[in-house]
Structure 1
Amino acid sequence: MDAPTDIAALLAEDFGTLADLIRVHAQQRPDKLAIADETARVSYAELDRLMDRVAAALQKGGTRAGQAVASVSYPSVAQAVVFLGALRAGSVAAPIQPSATPAQIAGMIADSGAKVVFLDAANADALIGQDVPAEVVMLDDLEAWLAPEGAAPTPVAVHPSDGFNIIYSSGTTGVPKGIVQSHAMRWQHLSRNTAAGFDTAVTLIATPLYSNTTLVSFLPTLGWGGSVVLMKKFEARLYLELAAEYRATHTMLVPVQYQRIMALPDFDDFDLSSFRFKTCTSAPFKPELKRDVVARWPGLLVEYYGMTEGGASCALNATEHRDKLHTVGRPLPGHEVRLIDDDGREVPAGEMGEIVGRSGAMMNGYHGREQATADATWISPEGARFIRHGDVGRFDADGFLILTDRKKDMIISGGFNIFPSDIEAVLAEHPAVADCTVVGVASEQWGETPVGFYVPREGATAGTGEVLAEVNERLGKTQRLSALYQADELPRSAIGKVLKRELRDRLIAGEFA
């Protein structure tokens, strides 16, 4: 694309690419800040040139269009440049979580088919002891690997169904699966954000680039021509300092991050008046926390509910609908949510069922896993493809979706279906409990039985046995916890999800006595 083009008009087209949008921004606003981290920053003109150099180097090194380009890194300008440069080469960006084990990281790289992987210095040992059939490039020495200044890649035609990126599931419930998202899906994410004000945004990002949570704000900001500020690692006070320094207008945070920020004693001392649009996703967002954010943090608060795999998304404008904070909102325009029973039949209005959804933003499938893709699919009586969200919920009388639990987390004990969230809600209300979760573990007597884990509240005097007895008094007979264990903290993924499988494995290994 050689001539400057009106961005709004381009985004109104049925299809386009992010790489082309960035080229236009480089022509129209060359000196505007595109991406910054805690030590580096690039303008749109600089970003555009770096993307060309990455793409040209990838092509020269033999990376083909449609082939994955992996990175294992904390968020940085360099990782973002590699991600975006891969797109310009017609390749598929595959950011991988550094918190995985070396064997898991090597497995994900092999699964992606990447022939080059980029590591930052902090994760230089990510592949220690692993035999990976890929060229390893250190992001800290990226300049030495790049094609020369002024290099231009061979143009590549990109089709809507082509892979844009692969995101590997967090592995909280099993082996990570590669979720292939297409250019068409990402174009939907870019073009539908017409009212979010991303063209003038300064978006502060405190989650990793391997998470869809991050990309749904990172990509629209760059697509519309705003500025992105990346945090290497989240820390609540540093987040507020950066927000004030950059006059942040937009952010996407997960609930545990909101919780830690709002808990700072000096939160109200920071000038956050520049904020216009705050969003949240990825984990349960407690109504009382939403209420606190709405009351004390300027700007709109919107909670999104959806999946990395796509399907349907719901949105709750928490600022406007303060009587619906126990819900995740209504389906977005063009998104369809249905509720089905265990036999795949739709449930009557008002009843609880498994959530399935469809929209214009849906994954191609799980990379190399046809059966897993089929298992995640529900075909409606009309023959339409829906994606199973793995959650259970119901609609209220106003069409707002209320989540009740994760279907995968459901415990079947003595033939009864037990939802951990019901137990967690009671456990969380105990004055001695600061954080908690419930998992199902094997039981000879019942098949499965619920077991609780909690972090004690500072200054609490009640012991674990007392908490267990008082909580069980409030639970139904089939819901009662068979055991309760105290922990210093609950293990969480980088986007705030409790790693229940890790707790279960640690319990089996005898760590909790």
Structure 2
Amino acid sequence: MNPLDAAFAHDFGAVADFIRQHAIDAPARPALADDRAMLDYAALDARMDRVAAALQREGLAPGDAIAVCANASADYAAVFLGALRAGVAVAPLAPGSAADSLARMIRDADARLLFLDAAGAQALGAGAGEGLPRVALEGEVPGAAPLADWLAPEGARPAPVDTQPGWAFNIIYSSGTTGEPKGIVQSHAMRWAHVKRYRPYGFGPHTVTLLSTPLYSNTTLVLFFPTLAYGGFVRLMPKFDAGRYLELAQQLRATHTMLVPVQYQRLMAHPAFDRFDLASFHMKFCTSSPLPAPLKADVLRRWPGGLIDTYGMTEGGGTVMLEAHLHPDKLHTVGRPAPGSDIRLIDEAGREVAPGEAGEVVGRSGGMMTGYHKQPEKTREAEWFAPDGTRFIRTGDIGRFDADGFLVLFDRKKDMIISGGFNIYPSDLEAVLRRHPDVADAAVVGIASAQWGETPVGFVVLRPDAAIGEDELLHWANAQLGKTQRLAGLRRIAELPRSAIGKVLKRELREAW
């Protein structure tokens, strides 16, 4: 058994330790790059040491936390990994968040240091993180020490830290657009479970993973850490652009990637897509929001390599995976529970539903959050306990298992529309709208109705050459829908509002209506 296989046979491993081993075994092998810099494993390992030693110099100890508010870069990644080597948790924050939300997140994380770039500094403004020592990841940021000056000297080695499975690895925050943001505490054990989950999908020293989603998103991190743990190469894109992504994929001979549905949509619609050589791809992954079945079919038809649609939550719990290339007849589903995942469906009273019935999805596995940071009540709301006391995480999604054990998702519980006593799943209506040849994208939300309590309305993005009007499209859609499903109205918009990882912001659509 080689050393890597032996390490993965253990119940627990620390990601930072694996990078150290790769630096010993293959120091010149490329590890990490962005648009401006490339680090081999020896350089990445040395940079992590300098970060960890500097954090220890500043008095940070295992259990402390830092915050990072920046776009993806090699320096950002090295700071994240160096903090882990020191046993320090990382709170990665979205530069697109409002300043007051960022301030609450920084306070909630008990961050001792704040790392940021120009985008992060602009988002934070003058007040967020005031009084907290700042380090600039790139360029000049007022009030922040340049990273090069802050780092421990070249050759510095931190005091050894024996990483424990239960320590906080990172604290990932919900969007924080309304109310108090929730910090999802993921442990080193949870990240180790993620690393081991991807072992069957061809990761190793030959891997070239192209990532174009942000480092503050779990969507990115679930592939970022396994790639490095297995000794592969990660190429970060600070900002997604379909044409540039395709150029890089061809140039690098990319083998793996993680993309969100809207990115797949834009890539497949790119006029030059079929002219790029993408034969190097071994496996493509998707998560964060539903990947429509027709889009899955298009990816399978035109993009070489396998496609895995992953359903899960940042909070953890169970994971469901659809190996679409192996099950082309199940593209309308999100797959079957991943090995080690226990997925169940419960009703409003918290009882498991009968086979074939719909219910809220709950799950458990080796990858589960410790809880919401300093919010025990919110943590309890997110948990469901089986009659034998086993802990599960609630998803808030409604689904049903088909006869073959594949999970069909309907919608978020909070997005389900109850009209005249009937349950209406927006995803069903959206699927009908997307079937029209003039429709590029669609979203359906419920609005208040004096007659029905709630009623569905639709928003559509039309294709550039579309000539259909709103009234004509509304009539067409309602002719395809059941009587209780019919849309009360329809609006054409230029683009659906989305988060940085592609989730449709339905709250904004309701407000816009």
TM-score band, normalised by the shorter chain?
A: over 0.9
Letter in 2 for 1:440: G
- Taking structure 1 as the reference length, what is the TM-score of the superposition? 0.95
Conserved? CA contact 1:172–1:499, under 8 Å:
no
Aligned: 1:292 with 2:298: yes
CA distance in 2, matches of 1:213, 1:298: 22
Cα drift, residue 21 of structure 1: 0.8
Give the superposed CA RMSD. Answer: 1.6
Residue of structure 1 equivalent to 2:8:
11
- Residue 262 of structure 2 aligns to a residue whose secondary structure is helix
* Secondary structure, counterpart of 1:362 in structure 2: coil
1:502/1:301 CA distance change after superposition, 3 Å: same
Q: In 2, distance between residues paired with 1:320 and 1:159?
A: 38
Report how far residue 80 of structure 1 moved.
0.2
How far did residue 443 of structure 1 move?
Answer: 3.4
Structure 1 equivalent of residue 169 of structure 2 = 164
Q: Is the 8 A contact 1:316 1:330 kept in 2?
A: yes
Shift of 1:172: 7.3
Do 1:172 and 1:500's aligned partners in 2 also have CA atoms closer than 8 Å?
no
Q: Which amino acid aligns with 1:358?
A: R
Letter in 1 for 2:195: L
2: CA distance between counterparts of 1:467 and 1:357?
39
What CA distance in whole angstroms lies between the structure 2 residues aligned with 1:173 and 1:386? 26
Residue 235 (structure 1) aligned with residue 241 (structure 2): yes
**Cα distance in 2 between the residues matched to 1:180 and 1:432:** 43
Could you tell me how far apart the structure 2 residues matched to 1:131 and 1:18 are? 31
Supply the distance in 1 between the matched residues of 2:293 and 2:487 (Cα, whole angstroms). Answer: 25
Aligned CA distance change for structure 1 residues 171 and 405 (closer, same or farther; 3 Å): farther
Q: How far does residue 150 in structure 1 lie from its aligned partner after superposition?
A: 1.6
In structure 1, which of residues 381, 394, 403 is the aligned counterpart of residue 400 of structure 2?
394
Query: Do the aligned residues in 2 keep the contact of 1:12 with 1:191 (CA within 8 Å)?
Result: no
Which residue number in structure 2 is paired with residue 455 of structure 1?
461
Distance 1:131 1:272, change over 3 A: closer
The one-character-per-residue Cα deviations of 1:394-442 (angstroms, maximum 9, x if unpaired) are: 1111111111111121122333322111221222223332211111223
Which of residues 172, 180, 184 in structure 2 aligns to 1:179? 184
Q: Equivalent of 2:121, from 121, 124, 129? A: 124
- The one of 41, 45, 48 aligned to 1:48: 45
- Does structure 1 residue 138 correspond to structure 2 residue 148? no
SS of equivalent to 2:333: coil
Structure 1 residue runs of 5 or longer lacking an equivalent are 508-513
Identity across matched positions, percent: 60
Match of 1:441 among 444, 447, 462: 447
Alpha-carbon displacement from aligned partner over 1:39-70 (angstroms, at most 9, x marks no partner): 11111111111111111111222323212211
Contact 1:86 1:93 in 2 (8 A): yes
Moved more, 126-135 or 89-98: 126-135
- Whole-angstrom CA distance in 2 between matches of 1:405 and 1:98: 28
1:195 matches 2:200: yes
CA contact (8 A) 2:99 2:128 kept: no
1:148 to 147, 153, 156: 153
Give 1:149 deviation, angstroms. Answer: 1.0
Equivalent residue for 1:510?
A: none
Counterpart Cα distance in 1 of 2:280 and 2:93: 33
2:34 to 24, 28, 37: 37
- Say if 1:11 and 1:190, in contact at 8 Å, map to a contact too: no
Q: In the alignment, which residue of structure 2 is the partner of 1:467?
A: 473
The residue number in structure 1 matching 2:73 is 76
CA distance, structure 2, for counterparts of residue 382 and residue 334 of structure 1: 18
Deviation per CA, 1:178-214: give whole Å up to 9, x if none.
1110011111111233222221201000111111111
Describe the superposition over 1:299-318 as per-residue Cα deviations: whole angstroms up to 9, x where unpaired.
11111111111111111111
**TM-superposed deviation, 1:296:** 1.4
Q: Does 1:495 align with 2:501?
A: yes
Q: Output the amino acid matched with 2:102.
A: I
Q: In 2 relative to 1, CA 172–440 (structure 1 residues): closer, same or farther, beyond 3 Å? A: farther
- 1:381 equivalent among 368, 383, 387: 387
Task: After TM superposition, give the deviation of residue 377 of structure 1 in Å.
Answer: 0.6
**In 2, Cα distance between the equivalents of 1:360 and 1:104?**
31
Aligned residues: 503
Is the CA contact 1:437–1:453 (under 8 Å) kept in the aligned structure 2?
Answer: yes
Name which of 244, 255, 258 aligns with 2:250.
244
1:254-265 mapped onto 2 (5 Å cutoff): 254-265=260-271
Tell me the equivalent position of 1:511: none
> 2:266, 2:324 → 1: CA distance?
19
Amino acid at match of 1:343: A
Partner residue, 2:96? 99
The change in CA–CA distance for 1:482 and 1:175 in structure 2 (over 3 A counts) is farther
CA distance in 1, matches of 2:56, 2:448: 51
Which letter maps to 1:293?
Answer: V
1:62 and 2:54 matched: no
Whether the 8 Å CA contact 2:362–2:384 is kept in 1: the answer is: yes
For residues 192 and 465 of structure 1, what CA distance do their matches in structure 2 show? 48
Task: Measure the CA separation in 1 of the matches of 2:91 and 2:506.
Answer: 25
Give the secondary-structure state (helix, strand or coil) at the position aligned to 2:224: helix
Displacement, 1:455?
1.2
How far residue 173 of structure 1 moved from its aligned partner, in angstroms, is: 8.1
SS at match of 1:408: helix
CA–CA distance in structure 1, aligned partners of residues 293 and 461 of structure 2: 20
- Provide the C-alpha distance between the structure 1 equivalents of 2:52 and 2:239, rounded to a whole number of angstroms: 28
After superposition, the Cα gap between the structure-2 partners of 1:131 and 1:264, relative to the gap in structure 1 and judged at 3 Å, is closer
The two structures have a TM-score, normalised by structure 2, of 0.95
**What does 1:314-325 correspond to in 2, within 5 Å?**
314-325=320-331
In 2, Cα distance between equivalents of 1:174 and 1:268: 45
- Residue pair 1:202, 1:227 contacting (<8 A) in 2 also: yes
Question: 1:257, CA displacement in angstroms?
Answer: 0.8
Cα pair distance change 1:97/1:352, threshold 3 Å: same
Matched ranges for 1:269-308 at <5 A = 269-308=275-314
